Structure 1
Amino acid sequence: MNANKTNKSNFAYQAVYTYLLNWIEALPSDVEQRLPSLRQMAQRLNVSLTTIKYAYSLLEDEGLVYARPKLGFYTRVCSSVLPIERSASLLDTVFSSARQPGMLALSSDAPAMLLSLERPLLMIERELARRYPRSPAPLYQPFGELELRSVLADRYTRSPHRCWQAEHVFIGSDLRSILELSLRGLSLDGKVAMVESPCSWVVLRQLLAAGMTIIEVPLAEDGRLDLLQLRRVLDTEPVSVAFLSSTTNVPQGGMVSAADKQQVCRWLAEHDVWLFENDSYGEFCFQPAAARYRDFANPDRLLVFSTFDKVIGAEAPYGYLLCRGHTEQLRHLFLQRAFRLSPIRQKAIAKLFTTRRVELHVKALHKLLYERMQHMKALLKAHGQGCLRIIEPRGGASFWLESNRSVDMRRVFERLLAQGIVIAPGEIFSQAGLWRNHLRLCYTLDWDKDIPHALRCLVKAVQDEAVRGRFQTP
Structure 2
Amino acid sequence: MKGGRETDFAYQAVYRYLTTLINELGADARVRLPSLRQLAERLNVSISTIQYAYSLLEKEGRVYPIAKSGYYALPVPSIATLDDGDDLLETLYVNARRPGMRVLSADEPASLAPLDSPLLLLERELLRQYPRTAQMPSQPWGELELRTALAARYTSSPARCWNADDVYIGADLRGVLEILIAVLELKGATVLIESPCDWTLLRLMQAAEVHVVELPLLADGEISLEQLEQLLAKESVRLVVLSSVLNMPRGTFVPEGNRRAVAHLLEKHGAWVLENDSYTDLAFETRATPFRDLLDPDRLIVYSTFEKTVGPEAPYGYVLSRQLTLQLQRHFLLRAFRLSPIRQKAIARLYSNGRIDQHLLVLRRLLRESAAVTTQMLRGRLEDSVQWVEPQGGATIWMYSRRRVDPRRVFQRLLAQRIVIAPGELFSLQGLYGHHLRLTHALSGSDDMDVALWALAEALRLEQA
TM-score (norm 2): 0.80
Please tell me whether the aligned partners of residues 303 and 323 of structure 1 are also in contact (alpha carbons under 8 angstroms): yes
1:98 to 96, 99, 118: 96
Which residue number corresponds to residue 346 of structure 2? 348
Which residue number corresponds to residue 380 of structure 2? 382
Which residue identity is paired with 1:91? L
Please tell me whether the aligned partners of residues 110 and 397 of structure 1 are also in contact (alpha carbons under 8 angstroms): yes
Which residue identity is paired with 1:402? Y
1:301 has 2:313 as partner: no
Q: Distance in 1 between matches of 2:249 and 2:459?
A: 22
Which residue identity is paired with 2:365? K
Please tell me whether the aligned partners of residues 186 and 330 of structure 1 are also in contact (alpha carbons under 8 angstroms): no
Deviation string, structure 1 residues 106-150 (Cα, Å, up to 9, x no partner): 111101111100111111111111222125564210110000000
Q: CA deviation at 1:201?
A: 0.6
Deviation string, structure 1 residues 421-459 (Cα, Å, up to 9, x no partner): 110000000001110100001112222642112101101
- Give me the CA root mean square deviation: 1.7
Please tell me whether the aligned partners of residues 443 and 449 of structure 2 are also in contact (alpha carbons under 8 angstroms): no
Which residue number corresponds to residue 198 of structure 1? 196
**Secondary structure of 1:450's match?**
helix
Deviation string, structure 1 residues 19-53 (Cα, Å, up to 9, x no partner): xxxxxxxxxxxxxxxxxxxxxxxxxxxxxxxxxxx
**Secondary structure of 1:171's match?**
strand
Q: Distance in 1 between matches of 2:223 and 2:321?
A: 25
Please tell me whether the aligned partners of residues 410 and 436 of structure 1 are also in contact (alpha carbons under 8 angstroms): no
Deviation string, structure 1 residues 192-239 (Cα, Å, up to 9, x no partner): 111111111111012112220110111122211122111111111111
Which residue number corresponds to residue 186 of structure 2? 188
Q: Distance in 2 between matches of 1:201 and 1:319?
A: 16
Question: CA separation of 1:432/1:88 partners in 2, compared to 1, >3 Å: closer, same or farther?
Answer: farther
Please tell me whether the aligned partners of residues 309 and 316 of structure 1 are also in contact (alpha carbons under 8 angstroms): yes
**1:86-235 alignment runs, 5 A limit:** 89-135=87-133, 138-235=136-233
Question: CA separation of 1:190/1:449 partners in 2, compared to 1, >3 Å: closer, same or farther?
Answer: farther
Which residue number corresponds to residue 271 of structure 2? 273
Q: Distance in 1 between matches of 2:455 and 2:333?
A: 51
Q: Distance in 2 between matches of 1:135 and 1:210?
A: 41
Which residue number corresponds to residue 445 of structure 1? 443
Which residue identity is paired with 2:155? T
Q: CA deviation at 1:268?
A: 2.2
Give unmatched runs, 5+ long, in structure 1.
Answer: 1-84, 468-474
Deviation string, structure 1 residues 404-428 (Cα, Å, up to 9, x no partner): 0011222111110000111000000
Question: CA separation of 1:108/1:86 partners in 2, compared to 1, >3 Å: closer, same or farther?
Answer: farther
Please tell me whether the aligned partners of residues 88 and 428 of structure 1 are also in contact (alpha carbons under 8 angstroms): no
**1:448-463 alignment runs, 5 A limit:** 449-463=447-461
1:261 to 254, 259, 262: 259
**Secondary structure of 2:318's match?**
strand
Q: CA deviation at 1:86?
A: 8.3
Q: Distance in 1 between matches of 2:335 and 2:268?
A: 34
Q: Distance in 2 between matches of 1:340 and 1:210?
A: 24
Which residue identity is paired with 2:339? L
Q: CA deviation at 1:394?
A: 1.5
Question: CA separation of 1:329/1:86 partners in 2, compared to 1, >3 Å: closer, same or farther?
Answer: farther
Which has the greater radius of gyration? 2
Q: Distance in 2 between matches of 1:142 and 1:245?
A: 27
- Amino-acid identity (%): 48
Tell me the matched-pair count: 383
Which residue number corresponds to residue 412 of structure 2? 414
Give unmatched runs, 5+ long, in structure 2.
Answer: 1-82
Please tell me whether the aligned partners of residues 189 and 238 of structure 2 are also in contact (alpha carbons under 8 angstroms): yes
Question: CA separation of 1:190/1:267 partners in 2, compared to 1, >3 Å: closer, same or farther?
Answer: same
Q: Which shows bigger deviation, 417-426 or 387-396?
A: 387-396
Which residue number corresponds to residue 360 of structure 1? 358
Q: CA deviation at 1:177?
A: 0.9
